[in-house]
Amino acid sequence: MSAEESPDRGSRRLGYALVVSAAAAWGTWPLVLRRAHAAGEIAQEIVTVVVIATLVVGSAPFLVRDRSKTKASVRDWLLLAWLGVSSAANIELFFAAYARARVAVAVLTHCLAPLVVALASPFLLREAPRARTFVAVTVALGGLALVLAPSLLRGPLGAGDVAGAALGAASALFYASNVIVSKKLAGRFSATELVVLHGFVALPLLALAVPSGAWAAASPRAIGVVVVGGFGPGALAGLFFNWGLRRVPATHAAMLTLLEPTCAVLLGVLVLHERLDALGVVGIVLVLGASLAVLSERAPRPSPEFM
């Protein structure tokens, strides 16, 4: 390995570590939300508002050191505004899918995002298409389906499941958009600027979706639990992902986000003593194996860093 290759390889390894850490942190959200709902009443729309608000507040101090010196164009600012819109749409559609369909249906359709990123990146990001990445994404999705099989096979799909699957797939499109746009803006805004500034667009849009009287009925304790979660799985994980995304291909970063539901399942087994059958174990092995295949793949030179 030459001296010129070492910094790139070290940066790439750090990028993968940051993305994996973010995915693992996001996998703790089911525990946070379960604790919040146990603490008192709180509407799901309020949860999203509190999470984004905490994300902005918790990330803002990093702006002291993490600022881009590049002057952004009008096009860049428009893309940043779209990032806020697509982020709000992603969250609202995903939770709408949860409300209508079985959790497994919502999760599996939402997790189509890495496949969308893999298909779109050669055209939108000029990342060379790699057969190994497509195979890894397909294997990981198959593994996730095995993990969720008990719920998926619990009776035929109903009208709610079909509607939820459509909403989950739509949320996957917006989430894929988030990854691609964040990657395109990597040279114009710092990771912290992306997290904070896009929140100023997403936050008012999400606030409009809160039902009348929901704030008055919300439990302060439940809101407090969500705020605490917003600083960990929210702010820090969001920064980790964006910092990592600058160092690795978007297709790899999106693929590694499939570790999020896998970590959620493992935490459910370890912390909540939920059951995991043999088929689920095979599925987790497939997801982890596909992730390792992506981690070991040679990657092109990443985008410039601002960290």
CA–CA dist 90, 253 (Å, integer): 17
CA–CA dist 203, 254 (Å, integer): 24
Q: Is 274 exposed, middle or buried (0-12, 13-18, 19+ CB in 10 A)?
A: exposed
State the pLDDT at residue 194.
94
Structure tokens at 176: 């894929």
CA–CA dist 51, 91 (Å, integer): 11
- Look up residue 186 and give its DSSP letter: T
State the pLDDT at residue 1.
37
State the pLDDT at residue 84.
96
State the pLDDT at residue 298.
66
* Phi then psi dihedrals of residue 212, to 5 deg: -60, 130
The per-residue pLDDT for range 65-101, each reduced to its tens digit, is 899 988 999 999 999 999 999 999 998 898 888 878 8
81: closest CA among 181, 12, 209, 11?
181
State the pLDDT at residue 187.
84
State the pLDDT at residue 77.
97
The per-residue pLDDT string of the chain (307 residues; one tens digit each, 9 = 90 and over) reads 333 334 477 788 899 999 999 999 998 888 888 899 899 999 989 999 999 999 999 999 999 989 998 899 999 999 999 999 999 999 889 888 887 888 788 888 999 999 999 999 999 998 887 888 889 999 999 999 998 888 777 777 788 889 989 999 999 999 999 999 999 998 899 999 999 999 999 999 999 999 999 999 999 999 999 999 888 888 889 999 999 999 999 999 999 999 998 888 888 888 878 788 888 899 999 999 999 988 887 655 444 443 4
249: closest CA among 184, 197, 188?
184
State the pLDDT at residue 29.
86
CA–CA dist 87, 195 (Å, integer): 10
SS3 content of the chain, % helix, strand, coil (to 5): 75, 0, 25
The per-residue pLDDT for range 267-307, each reduced to its tens digit, is 888 887 878 888 889 999 999 999 998 888 765 544 444 34
Give the torsion through C-alpha atoms of 168, 170, 172, 174, to 10 deg.
-140
Residues in Cβ contact with 198 at an 8 Å cutoff, skipping those fewer than 6 apart: 80, 83, 84, 87
CA–CA dist 168, 77 (Å, integer): 28
Give the DSSP letter string of 136-182: HHHHHHHHHHHHTHHHHTSS---HHHHHHHHHHHHHHHHHHHHHHHH
State the pLDDT at residue 4.
36
CA of 291: how far to CAs of 15, 241, 256, 258, in Å?
A: 14, 16, 6, 8
State the pLDDT at residue 155.
73
Average pLDDT, the chain: 87
- Maximum Cα interatomic distance, the chain, rounded to a whole number of Å: 63
State the pLDDT at residue 303.
44
252: closest CA among 216, 302, 209, 205?
302
